Amino acid sequence: MAVELPGTFMQRMEDMLGSDYEQFAESYQETPYGGIRANTLKIPVEELLALSPFTLAPIPWCPSGFYTEAGARPGKHPYYHAGLYYIQEPSAMAPVELLGVQPGDRVLDLCAAPGGKSTQIAAKLQGEGLLVSNDLHPDRTKALAKNLELYGVRNGIVLNESPGRIAAAFPGFFDRILIDAPCSGEGMFRKDEDMVKQWEPETPLKYAAMQREILASAAAALKPGGTLVYSTCTFATEENEGIIGEFLASHPEFSLIPVGGTGSFAPGLGGLPGAARLWPHKVKGEGHFMAVLRHDGSSASPEEADAGLKLNGRDKALPVSPRNKEGKAQASAKAAAARADAGRGGKGRRAAGKSGGAAPGRQSQELGEEAALAAYSVFAEEQLGWQPAGYPVLFGDHLYLSPLPKAALDGLKTIRPGWYAGHVRSGRFIPGHPLATALHSAESIRSLSLPGNSGEAVSYLKGETLSIPAERLSVRSGSSPKGYVLVCIDGYSAGWGKWQDGMLKNEYPAGWRWT
């Protein structure tokens, strides 16, 4: 598919590439490459390769990434809806690989929507540490939050904030920060014709001003000894080597970690050969620029990194706990009391508060939170048999399990404060879809596995009720088959169902269904 490119852009690229220019220009006659990346939060790479209905070829710079064959439609398979892989442009997988994320790290993805790189980071964290995913555009955070939920991220927070406000709230806090900066998008011209239409000769300079501010804010949020990766999908040196050169000149505490000229990566241009570039005429992927920066100050202690946080001593994380009959009895009593209170008009009191009546006092609010947590505790005991960890954060009747105390997010526009567990209705806890998608089959007392190549899997994803005999359910010893069931596709969680008398009521949310 030929792409008609702006003459001013092509002249600049000829000046930049010299003898490589003809090969570069010819690459725009080729079809862009497609790729998927295994979601190792759910499935090991080897298992995905064994299950995959598509022919896959490895992407050199990403061990969990694979090229898909022409004509493949990975978004039209039940495995996609089970979150087993993320559909991602191959070159876009490179920046996170250079970030060097380790389990337990505190990571900030500053320009994260729609979430491809955040899900890649989350897979590397393996449920340990913290991922804060942010995007400045409110509409884009919806897709970001949904992708983190689909791919089973338990330790993620989604913000809709300016980089400066995040740096003020988390000074010197993060081990690793990714800036996939807003840019003129020249590297995506072959893949996205809209970016060609939007491009003008002055576009790179417009984005460069924005990129300087983002990078300066990120530097303030990175702890001494931490790593920052700056990436763009553009060719313009004003947005790439120029930005990094200016930053290093004004931030002597940072140094460039050399990457360029190794493997698939070409060196940076001008006086910055340690940066890295992916050229569409040299690799099977679109254009990308990357620079790895290290804060050379001495590593901060956990206490120093936490010093700027607004912590509240009353916040307590929910510990992972085994089954406890005494604790269950206490929680059941609290939940029953909450249901009785709702029957006596609790809902009316809440409605009065919304319409401008007196807000409940702190004691009433705390009792409401205690009852909600008690209802959740009953659910966790009866449906999971264990207690997921996290700081409980309640927004109304909705419960999240956060990797940070609630007070740490005070004053920030928070889209998702953590793993969404569900909501309380009339004293009973109703589990949320994201709770299911992040569970493994063994973590639920009841589960059902539907074959990925069956009509049943598609029927479930369409929201249909299924006829399922009790013997097909996997039920933990001593438990009844009646209740919430974790519905899996070939053993990998996809959502909830509710089983009774041979029928599985479908709990798959309408906005997620197969269309």
The catalytic residue positions are 233
Cα 103 to Cα 126, 128, 152, 155, 401, distances in angstroms: 6, 5, 16, 11, 19
Under 8 Å between Cβ of 427 and 411: no
Distance between CA 157 and CA 2 in Å, rounded?
41
The one-letter amino acid at 334: K
Burial 346-363 (b: 16+ CB within 10 A, else e): beebeeeeeeeeeeeeee
Token pair of 71, please? Answer: 């004509």
Under 8 Å between Cβ of 393 and 402: yes
Q: Please give the sequence-ordered ranges of beta strands (E in DSSP) within 140-221, or none if there are none.
A: 156-159, 174-180
Distance between CA 384 and CA 377 in Å, rounded?
10
Cα 60 to Cα 71, 90, 218, 278, 300, distances in angstroms: 22, 9, 29, 12, 34
Cα 144 to Cα 124, 138, 149, 376, 407, distances in angstroms: 18, 10, 9, 26, 23
Closest to 52 (Cα-Cα) out of 31, 74, 28, 27: 74
